[in-house]
Chains A and B, each alone.
Chain A
Amino acid sequence: DIQMTQSPSSVSASVGDRVTITCRASQGVTNWLAWYQQMPGKAPKLLIYAASGLQSGVPSRFSGSGSGTDFTLTISSLQPEDSATYFCQQANTFPYTFGQGTKLEI
């Protein structure tokens, strides 16, 4: 199975800050990687597909980059509503696997 490792596990930042979360795959997944946002008690929400594609309706302050084994999610100007846990997920090979999550506190 492909292992996905996120860092950091948690991060605290202020409104207006720029935050970057990284995700590393144990083997190459081309650019078949997604980022999800999960609010407490809610289902995950797709933010980024194919490493850098912005899902419809997602604010443009969210962006993704990377290919192969190393990926990043960047939030350019934090808003209070961005407080959540973020997960990466590889969609290259079954079994699909997720990172362990990054908890973002504003």
Chain B
Amino acid sequence: LAKTTQPISMDSYEGQEVNITCSHNNIATNDYITWYQQFPSQGPRFIIQGYKTKVTNEVASLFIPADRKSSTLSLPRVSLSDTAVYYCLVGPPNSNSGYALNFGKGTSLLVTP
């Protein structure tokens, strides 16, 4: 079972690029990597999902090295509104077990002026 490890918290100033790394040393061949964002007093929101190399959308980029033992969520030029908790999940698409859906505590990102 792929266990994920990510920093508890990070700080950044507005306008900087923020990279949040998630370690998943025992990721399985079929596992995908998914990131969610949660603003205060709201439910989590899907940001991005990937399997290998690089995925980019209008919100973020996801970098996955060849060995897939880690992944990095990159937020370009953050603003105050990017202050949130970010969760990394790893799991296979076709599974009946929800073990990888325990979001845990995620990484709490604080963006300041």
| Chains A and B belong together in one complex | no
